[in-house]
Structure formats: C-alpha cells, structure tokens
Amino acid sequence: MKIVFMGTPQAAVPTLEKLLSEGHEILAVYSQPDRPSGRGNKIVFSPVKQFAIEHKIPVLQPTKIKTAEAIEEFSSLSADVAVVVAYGRILPQTFLNAFPLGAINVHFSLLPKYRGAAPVNWAIANGETVTGVTTMKMDVGLDTGDILLQKEVAIGKEETAPELMKRLSSEGAELLIGTLDRIGMIESRKQNDSLASYAPILKRDDGLIDWTLDASTINDRVRGFQPFPSSFTNYKDRRVTIWKAKTVGQISSNGAMPGTIVSVGNKLLTVVCGSGSALAIEEMQPEGKRRMPAADFINGSRVQVGQRFHGN
C-alpha cells in the first residue's frame, strides 16, 4: 500500500518501522518543524524525521498545513492512505479527503476515553489499571473519528508513563498493520461522546505535588507525569523532583501536617499525605543535581523527622 506517514515523537517510530518491514511503500514522512533544544538552542530533529532520513524517505515539515500550497503538495503525493501517529496537529478536511482511504490514526487510549494530547500520562495519573490503543478513521475533531480496531492493555502497578508508552507504541504498530490488512472488512463504529474524557497537554504547574492528596494519588502522578512535567516539591526553598515512591498505607502522624517527614531510614524517606496516608520516597533529584536514591538525599541534606516538603 502507498502511504504518507505523519508523526513526530519516538512513540510514532515503531509504527513507521513496522510499515516498512511489512513491505508498505512510504512515499513521504510529515513531521513537525525542527525546533531548538537544550542550553545551546541546537536544532534537534524529531525521532520520526531522524528515522526517515536514515531510511532515505523524503521528509516534509510545513509550518502551516491549511494553505493552498500545503494542500496541493500533500494531495500530489497520490497515496492510498495517510497514517497519523502523534503528529501534533489536527488535520483539515482537505487533508483527510486527499487519498482514497482517507487518514487512519493510531491513538494511545481506548477511545472515547482520554482524547487529547497526553492520554498515557493521564491514564496513569488518574489511577487507571487498564488502557489500550485504538485505530480510527480521522475526522476534523479532536480524536472523535470512527473506531476501527482496539486492543486493551493492562497498566503495571509500578509502571511509569515512558515505560507504558514504549509498550503501547509497539502494540499500536501491530494494531495498525492489522487495520490496513483488513481495511475493507472492518465495520467501523461511532464513538459514544457521552463517555468521552480528555487528556489535555501537560503544563509545568501540573507537576507541583499537593501533599493534601492521598498517597496513592500522589504516587500515580509521580508515575504518570514523567518525563514532563515530573512531580516536584520544595525542601528548604529548593526544588526536589520525586522520581520513584510507594504508598505505605495509614500511619500515626500525631497531627503532623501533610508534607511532613515522619520517618527517615531503611533507605526511605516517608512523608505524611492527606487522610493520614503516607508516601515512602525511593528516588529523588535535588535541583541542579543528579537523580539519586533517597538514602543519598537523606545523608547529603541532613534530613530530619519533622521537616516539611511544601509548595511554592
């Protein structure tokens, strides 16, 4: 099948790689424009663009896709279908109608649940135990197209968003191949909008830990808000990022306020949270320093019971 592939992050690469290995012809790859990154503001290619270059596939990176020139260029590729995986833009109807089979999207949730930019992060942050991948026929809405195929995937109790995304990326690639193989036989179904939920793009402020929440909720956010915005708090007026933790159930806090350190030892740092619950921190990162086991932070910062983590 002749395909135009549209994607940007690493999560899209397994699908592009799978399409090539299955013998599909990739006429061109669309990816978001290059952007400066890091302290030196160096231009960094997206993972999809880098993969395409390595495999000698033409790459297109229009800054605008609703112009007559962009639409004409896209249509002139004369593909059978467009495959879209985390491209980063909502396509106009002219793009969706350009090819005989339209545009098929791989989305990393069980639609209509978690429409939007960060479905994997919010599924974990909200305490879900199951998620999945969906292939759908795209329309002009935000992940509102008719569902083609879906596969359910369990979320591990300690799994982080990057770990889950890696698994879902592989599952999505397989599901997309199955979708293309059966494209004329699949009976699509409309989404039930009344069951829809949203996974908006994450903001820096989402990562600030609210210690009045119960420990389980905080731990879900620690796992879900990786790699960005991460989960962070303040200790002695310096930011500390929490990378790994576990809940320890109810404790006797003796009236200590949420965020108070109630135990230091056993290579763990235990903090009281809302409703008398507690979170045992296993791995953390002081501002300007490396990630480290909690034991190293305890020793280096001379942590004592009764001290508090707090918000801005």
| pLDDT per residue as tens, the chain (312 positions) | 999 999 999 999 999 999 999 999 999 999 999 987 766 778 889 999 999 999 999 999 999 999 999 999 999 999 999 999 999 999 999 999 999 999 999 999 999 999 999 999 999 999 999 999 999 999 999 999 999 999 999 999 999 999 999 999 999 999 999 999 999 899 999 999 999 999 999 999 999 999 999 999 999 999 999 999 999 999 998 999 999 999 987 777 678 899 999 999 888 999 999 988 999 999 999 999 999 999 999 998 889 999 999 876
Q: Which CATH number fits domain 204-301: 3.20.20.100, 3.40.50.970, 3.30.1330.200, 3.10.25.10?
A: 3.10.25.10
Distance CA 187, CA 294 (A): 52
Q: Where in the chain is the domain with CATH 3.10.25.10?
A: 204-301
CATH architecture of 2-195: 3-Layer(aba) Sandwich (3.40)
Distance CA 285, CA 233 (A): 10
> Can you tell me whether residue 210 is helix, strand or coil?
coil
Q: Compute CA distances 181 → 59, 107, 190, whole Å.
A: 25, 18, 21
pTM: 0.94
Q: Where in the chain is the domain with CATH 3.40.50.170?
A: 2-195
Sequence-ordered alpha helix ranges (H) in the chain: 13-21, 47-54, 68-75, 93-96, 119-125, 161-181, 215-224, 294-301
Distance CA 292, CA 254 (A): 29
Is residue 3 within 8 Å of 159, Cβ to Cβ? no
Place of tokens 């509102």: 144
Distance CA 66, CA 89 (A): 11
| Backbone phi, psi, residue 160, to 5° | -95, 165
> Can you tell me whether residue 257 is helix, strand or coil?
coil
